[in-house]
Chain A
Amino acid sequence: MQWVPFWPRDASVTAQSIDKIFIGELALVLVILGFVFGLMIVFGLRYRRGSRANRTGLIKKTWHWEIGWTVGSLAAFLVLFVWGANMYVWLYDPPRAGLEIYVVAKQWMWKAQHPGGQREINELHVPLGETVRLLLTSQDVIHSFFVPAFRVKHDVLPGQYETFWFKPTELGRFRLECTQYCGTEHAHMGGDIVVMPPADYARWLSRQGEHESLAQQGEALFRKYGCSGCHGANSTVHAPSLVGVYGGLVHLEGGDTVRADERYIRDSILLPRSQIVAGYAPVMPSFAGQIGEDDLVKLVAYVQSLSPIDGASQ
């Protein structure tokens, strides 16, 4: 669609799909619009007052027609719904991510943390053709992470992780915008997504200086905050081991089962009593208000790294 002068760039796998459904609906909309406007114009000319058109025999059984266009509209709408819902499921069900990046939003900037511990502000470097999964949270109000060229958008909420994925298909710089009104400098809460060839991305990562990986930093925090006292291998306290927890199913007291994703790990640190693992006493204190978002990200990354099924964040 780049030949249309006012078409946004489409630089990701999802952009091409969303463009397809948009153009499909646009075509349908134009047909319906043409039909309605066409009828209005034809009737307006033909039956203008004083014209000699035949006006006898008005349609009496209008319900024949009404059922016709009710069924027609409903059928067309259901097709659009199924098409859209199907794509939505795909958009929300991420393929196995090659790269997971944590993003913390605050008034009025975006902070990104790569798995290797590299950090950047208002820029996000990603390799071309890699499925990138973002884990986003906010330190203050609700923001929204929007990259028009990728056709991806997701609100970023304080107090919880939101996640979505994209897969860039073009090299270059693409605008990042905040689309949820967040205060005075909302319009300036932007940045760039920089899509690089994988080799350049690797070089860029190494140029960011020596860093401990997020998980390594998390391990240090795990000791600092005293988590290891109970959850460590040598602990005498009856607390669940965290090895292999991430990504699996956890059976809770009361019979529920949850998937141990990033949100679960985060909630277990901040609100430990909301989800008690079956067979354990609710003895863990809450860390709400004591650990900032940046440190939480590292702790979550460390717990992730304890899971052998997940290789990405090692």
Chain B
Amino acid sequence: MTTVTADLPASYLTKEHTIASWLLTSDHKRIALLFFASITFFFFIGGFAATLIRLHLLNPAGTLLQPDMYNRMFSMHGIVMVWFFLIPSIPTTLGNFLIPLMIGARDLAFPKINLASWYVFNISGFFVLFCLFVGGVDTGWTFYTPYSTLFANGYVIPAAVAVFINGFSSIMTGLNFVITIHRLRAPGMTWMRLPLFVWAIYAVSLVMLLATPVLAMTLALVALERWMGVGIFDPQLGGDPLLFQHMFWFYSHPAVYIMILPAMGVVSELVSCFARRPVFGYEGMAYALMSIAVISFFVWAHHMFVAGISIYAGIVFSLLTFFVAVPSAIKVFNWTATLHKGSISFDAPMLYALGFVGLFTIGGLTGLMVATLPIDIHVHDTYFVIAHFHYIMVGGTVSAFFGGLHYWWPKITGRLYPEMWARVAAIITFLGFNLTFFPQFILGYLGMPRRYYTYDPAWQVWNVLSSAGASILAAAYTLPLLYLGWSLFYGARAGANPWRATGLEWLTSSPPPQHNFPRTPVVRAAPYQYNPADGSYVAQDGSSNA
């Protein structure tokens, strides 16, 4: 270690103690923690809805919840989990905390916009909670017209307003990251020396900036049609219901990649560090991230193969969907190859990362199946699709989020978490996840449609297995809350670099001081200069460590 830690100022956590110093902070690290509090809250709201859904489906007759209540629960689960947890999850917490640290900057380019983004997020969160408490919404998270504009009996407009406002938080955060990564890199931090996590956040920020406005327009039109009867989507008013689906998926398919790209960035950091080996094919990994971001804009209509689009549209979008799978395949193979000749230790972050690779691979391969036109005709809108995208979003993104949280926990809090408990949580997350969602592939092929509050009794065994898995998963997600909370007070003090990792974020103390580095670091080395043969590494400032 070259950095002297003794004469550093107080950490960002201890510098000021007032509540105002948190609520009015412009420090990206504090804002990251504010976001962390918000999205954790929403994760448990969305998780609560999921728990009710799985409890309800234990019984094929579906007697626990009234039909309207069940419909509100899956709608709220989707809306909250997509916009209030998955999309902001990694970018606003780990991204906010780490991007300036990883590129050697004092803060993001626009610290006040960063804080504004958190406030905007919470305003949108207020609307979604308002919608929930006055009676909820029953459109599903997809708001399909003309159901949402004319027939839905829930509070569609508050929900649309919530998601509309939420988009501005995404745009502000994305804009901030793009400009920060372009303008505030430390001397020597060339594009091809950026950690892959930074590349991933860069790619996702571009997608956020370009896709989110389309969602805002779409939802504004839905609200206008519902409120004033403007005929955009409802055929009775001269509108076109498929237009909505095109506009919605033009945002919402890229949004899937908004959820998964940051997770890919996290996993690249983790796999490399715990295999003590440079990422296999760094440049290929960076280009793959960028190509996924670009191609993700051209696959939206694969959600509409049976919706009444033309046969030519079906064929073209199927082909483009197979294309977007290629860079994802490259990433999976490269992560696997990163293990080759490594010196692998199975600490909790690595367990989460390996779990991610496995679950993402299953999610991606079943994605090929649903991209195949005839198969999609059968499995579209069934539990097969539900299982497929939960493998990506929960198995993938949430695993990576937990992995990243454990990995950077010592940096964020200055404390080590209890390793044994963390490994237990990582393993039961993996097992509980598979038990929850694998039976849903079978249910889907058997023909169980999504959004059904009652189902054929012949399918009960698979539903019971899935619900059993969900209870394990719930425990696995609550466990970190307990032991990470414990470690805040009783965990061992972490040094600056407990994982002996190469990134700039590990050069400063844990937790870092308010402006990150005593002096701006100079970057002299590519990332991931680990040597598995003798365990040594070269940090990005060029310092060698045995």
Interface string of A170-185 (1 = CB under 8 A from B): 0000010111111111
Instruction: Assess whether A63 is in contact with B380, with CB atoms less than 8 Å apart.
Output: no
Greatest chain A CB density within 10 A among B311, B325, B340, B454 is at: B340
Interface string of B367-398 (1 = CB under 8 A from A): 01101111101101110000000000000000
Residues of B within 8 A of A182 (CB): 147
Which residue of A6, A25, A33, A184 is within 8 Å of B372 (Cβ)?
A: A25
- Given contacts A73-B330, A181-B140, is CB(A155)–CB(B308) below 8 Å? yes
Decide yes or no whether A96 CB sits under 8 A from chain B: no
A83 to B366, CA, bound (A): 16
Q: B148 to nearest A CB, angstroms?
A: 9
Instruction: Assess whether A81 is in contact with B329, with CB atoms less than 8 Å apart.
Output: no
Decide yes or no whether B53 CB sits under 8 A from chain A: no
Interface string of B292-310 (1 = CB under 8 A from A): 0000000000000011100
Instruction: Assess whether A84 is in contact with B341, with CB atoms less than 8 Å apart.
Output: no
Q: Which residues of A are at the interface with B, using a C-beta cutoff of 8 A?
A: 6-8, 14, 17-18, 21-22, 25-26, 29, 32-33, 36-37, 39-40, 43-44, 47-49, 53-59, 62-63, 65-66, 69-70, 73-74, 77-78, 80-81, 83-85, 87-89, 91-92, 107, 140-142, 144, 146, 148-149, 151-155, 157-160, 162, 175, 177-188, 289
A152 to B378, CA, bound (A): 6
Instruction: Assess whether B325 is in contact with A73, with CB atoms less than 8 Å apart.
Output: yes
Instruction: Assess whether A33 is in contact with B365, with CB atoms less than 8 Å apart.
Output: yes
Smallest Cβ-Cβ distance to A60: which chain B residue: B278
Sorted nearest first, the 8 A-B pairs with minimum C-beta distance are A148-B447, A159-B235, A88-B373, A84-B372, A43-B339, A62-B281, A187-B452, A77-B322
Residues of B within 8 A of A65 (CB): 280-281, 333, 337
Decide yes or no whether B71 CB sits under 8 A from chain A: yes
Q: Which residues of B are at the interface with A, using a C-beta cutoff of 8 A?
A: 62, 67-68, 71, 138-140, 144, 146-147, 150-153, 235-236, 241-242, 275-278, 280-281, 284, 306-308, 311, 314-315, 318-319, 322-323, 325-326, 329-330, 332-334, 336-337, 339-346, 354, 357-358, 361-362, 365-366, 368-369, 371-375, 377-378, 380-382, 442, 445-447, 449-456, 462, 532-533
Q: A86 to nearest B CB, angstroms?
A: 9
A178 to B453, CA, bound (A): 13
Residues of A within 8 A of B455 (CB): 187
Q: B16 to nearest A CB, angstroms?
A: 41
Instruction: Assess whether A6 is in contact with B442, with CB atoms less than 8 Å apart.
Output: yes
| 13 other A-B residue contacts (CB within 8 Å) besides A47-B340, A157-B242 | A18-B374, A21-B374, A22-B375, A29-B368, A48-B345, A66-B284, A66-B330, A88-B377, A140-B151, A141-B150, A162-B308, A179-B449, A187-B454
Q: B337 to nearest A CB, angstroms?
A: 7
Contact sample, A vs B, 28 pairs, CB 8 Å cutoff: A22-B378, A25-B375, A32-B361, A33-B361, A36-B361, A43-B336, A44-B346, A44-B354, A59-B280, A59-B337, A70-B329, A74-B326, A81-B322, A84-B318, A84-B372, A84-B375, A85-B319, A88-B373, A88-B374, A89-B315, A142-B307, A146-B449, A148-B446, A158-B241, A159-B236, A160-B308, A181-B71, A187-B455
Residues of B within 8 A of A142 (CB): 144, 146-147, 241, 307
A141 to B281, CA, bound (A): 50
Instruction: Assess whether A58 is in contact with B368, with CB atoms less than 8 Å apart.
Output: no
A77 to B369, CA, bound (A): 10
A289 to B236, CA, bound (A): 8
Residues of B within 8 A of A18 (CB): 374-375, 377-378
Q: A310 to nearest B CB, angstroms?
A: 22
Instruction: Assess whether B456 is in contact with A175, with CB atoms less than 8 Å apart.
Output: yes
Which residue of A49, A63, A81, A184 is within 8 Å of B281 (Cβ)?
A: A63
A62 to B455, CA, bound (A): 51
Residues of A within 8 A of B278 (CB): 58
- Given contacts A44-B344, A155-B307, A160-B235, is CB(A22)–CB(B138) below 8 Å? no
Instruction: Assess whether B381 is in contact with A180, with CB atoms less than 8 Å apart.
Output: yes
- Given contacts A66-B284, A186-B451, is CB(A43)–CB(B340) below 8 Å? yes
Residues of B within 8 A of A152 (CB): 377-378
- Given contacts A92-B311, A148-B378, is CB(A55)–CB(B533) below 8 Å? yes
A80 to B371, CA, bound (A): 9
Instruction: Assess whether A141 is in contact with B318, with CB atoms less than 8 Å apart.
Output: no
Smallest Cβ-Cβ distance to A54: which chain B residue: B341
Smallest Cβ-Cβ distance to A25: which chain B residue: B369
A66 to B311, CA, bound (A): 34
A175 to B277, CA, bound (A): 55
Instruction: Assess whether B284 is in contact with A63, with CB atoms less than 8 Å apart.
Output: yes
Instruction: Assess whether A144 is in contact with B451, with CB atoms less than 8 Å apart.
Output: no
Residues of A within 8 A of B361 (CB): 32-33, 36-37
A62 to B368, CA, bound (A): 26
Instruction: Assess whether A40 is in contact with B326, with CB atoms less than 8 Å apart.
Output: no
Residues of A within 8 A of B456 (CB): 175
A39 to B452, CA, bound (A): 39
Greatest chain B CB density within 10 A among A22, A81, A83 is at: A81
A179 to B147, CA, bound (A): 14
Instruction: Assess whether B147 is in contact with A183, with CB atoms less than 8 Å apart.
Output: yes
Residues of A within 8 A of B146 (CB): 140-142, 158
Instruction: Assess whether B372 is in contact with A21, with CB atoms less than 8 Å apart.
Output: yes
A96 to B469, CA, bound (A): 48
A77 to B318, CA, bound (A): 10
Instruction: Assess whether A184 is in contact with B375, with CB atoms less than 8 Å apart.
Output: no
Q: B399 to nearest A CB, angstroms?
A: 15
Residues of A within 8 A of B307 (CB): 142, 155, 157
Instruction: Assess whether A187 is in contact with B306, with CB atoms less than 8 Å apart.
Output: no
Residues of B within 8 A of A180 (CB): 144, 381
A149 to B462, CA, bound (A): 19
Instruction: Assess whether B329 is in contact with A33, with CB atoms less than 8 Å apart.
Output: no
Residues of B within 8 A of A289 (CB): 236
A147 to B146, CA, bound (A): 24
A65 to B138, CA, bound (A): 49
- Given contacts A22-B378, A151-B378, A187-B453, is CB(A55)–CB(B342) below 8 Å? yes
